[in-house]
Amino acid sequence: MTHVIRNFAAGPSILPREVVEQAAHDAVELDDVHLSVMEISHRSPFWANRMKEVEANTRALMKISDDYAVLYLQGGATAQFSMVPMNLAAVGERCDYILTGGWSQKAAAEAEKLGREVHIASSGEEGGFTALPQTHDLSDETAYVHYTANNTVRGTEFSELPEVGDRILVCDASSNILSRPLDVAKHGLIYAGAQKNLGPAGVTLVVVRRDLLERATWAKPTIFDYKLMAAKSSMYNTPPVWSIHVLGLTLEWIARQGGPEVIEARNIKKAAMLYEAIDQSAIFRGTAAEGSRSRMNVCFRASSDELEAKFVAEAAEVGLVTLKGHRSVGGMRASIYNAMPLEGVEELVAFMKDFEVRNG
Ligand SMILES: *Cc1c(COP(=O)(O)O)cnc(C)c1O
């Protein structure tokens, strides 16, 4: 029996079929230049134009004003864990972190390692990061407040921005970027590794308020210098042309769907359907607290490790793949990013019901 494969991986993860097909075409030969997109010079007229297009689409979809620079960098979101403190806080200067899981812990650890004074404003660690902290003990004076918009591992997501007054808000939006509208003007900086909602691994989107580019008067590695990268339109050195091109194709796909508002409505529907199935089930239970549930990564458990292993294996046999939870927490995780169609979630829910009848 053959099935459409539904990929529930957390990242790298599902991309829209149309995007993958266009990327496959462009990998062989771009229509006008008759070269593979991987072979083309980043100093060519084609690429100069393509970068402009990708940036214009990023700005349009995210409603980014001219007060912000838009960068396409390498090193993943993990590079941003260092780049943010290196550029926004002097050595010894205080920066606040809201801890909602492993990613924000890693971000804070990097700032600490670089000699910045890390203040943990709030943490969900006591509850195993299954609920988002509701209040934050923010410093009066702080270089910025960092938060992770969606905790990919535990399946929690902020539905509203943390309230930080006039402090500079920095957001790791790696796993929910463009899955819902995000108020850029309320942030100093937003970053997102591409491989969850935007494209292939290898490029990280950074949106940074231009006045913040002037903060770092101290030395930092060239490749980690926002101001330099902004001045060179992310092309100080060779940019990841392939990853940026496919990110661009994904943005065009999002625009064709009707933009983040339409995408958000679909994501709400998909997540509601899956959580309802979990809540109604006698053998599955959701792990994230009610008000903290992610629309992107739905984490759930069954009554035993054996049953979970059986579920993951049998699901894969019918084409529902990569449902195993993150190795640090176990259980199951269904990542239902923008590119996962409603039908994929319907198939998963039908399989869960069938599995329950057979194993309940
Ligand atoms: C995946 C992920 C990261 C790490 O991204 P890399 O590109 O692998 O460095 C950081 N933050 C969040 C929220 C993530 O989901």
- Tokens describing residue 332: 């199951």
Mean model confidence pLDDT for the chain = 97
Q: For residue range 238-252, what is the model confidence (pLDDT) as tens digits? A: 999 999 999 999 999
Backbone angles phi, psi at 204, to 5 degrees: -125, 125
Q: Which atom of ligand 1 is nearest to the CA of 201?
A: 7
Residues 319-330: what's their mean pLDDT? 95
Nearest Cα neighbor of 246 from 179, 180, 197, 192 is 197
| 353 carries an active-site annotation | no
Residues 126-135: what's their mean pLDDT? 96
Residue closest via CA to ligand 1's atom 13 equals 174
Res. 360 pLDDT band, cuts 50 70 90: confident
Residues 325-337: what's their mean pLDDT? 95
Q: Is the pLDDT of residue 235 over 80?
A: yes
Cβ(102) – ligand 1 distance below 6 Å? no
- Residue to mutate (ligand 1; options 152, 154, 178, 335; most atoms within 8 A of CB): 152
Q: For residue range 172-203, what is the model confidence (pLDDT) as tens digits? A: 999 999 999 999 999 999 999 999 999 999 99
SS3 category, 211:
helix
Q: Which atom of ligand 1 is nearest to the CA of 80?
A: 9
Summary count for the chain: helices (H), strands (E): 9, 14
Residues 324-344: what's their mean pLDDT? 96
Residue 325 amino acid letter: G
Q: Is the pLDDT of residue 1 over 60?
A: no
pLDDT of residue 4: 87
Residue closest via CA to ligand 1's atom 10 equals 77
pTM higher than the cut 0.95: yes
pLDDT of residue 131: 98
Cβ(77) – ligand 1 distance below 6 Å? yes
Q: For residue range 22-79, what is the model confidence (pLDDT) as tens digits? A: 999 999 999 989 999 999 999 999 999 999 999 999 999 999 999 999 999 999 999 9
| Cis status of the peptide bond prior to 16, with omega within 30 of 0 | no
SS3 category, 88:
helix
- Tokens describing residue 119: 């203040």
Set 172, 225, 270, 324: catalytic member: 172
Residue in this structure with the two tokens 């108020």, named with its chain if needed: 183
Q: What is the length of the chain?
A: 360
Where b means 16+ CB within 10 Å and e means fewer, 322-344 reads bbbbbeebebbbbbbbbbbbeeb
What is the C-alpha to C-alpha distance for residues 176 and 286, in angstroms, rounded to an integer? 19
Element (H, E) at 121: strand 117-123
> What percent of the chain has pLDDT above 70?
99
| 242 carries an active-site annotation | no
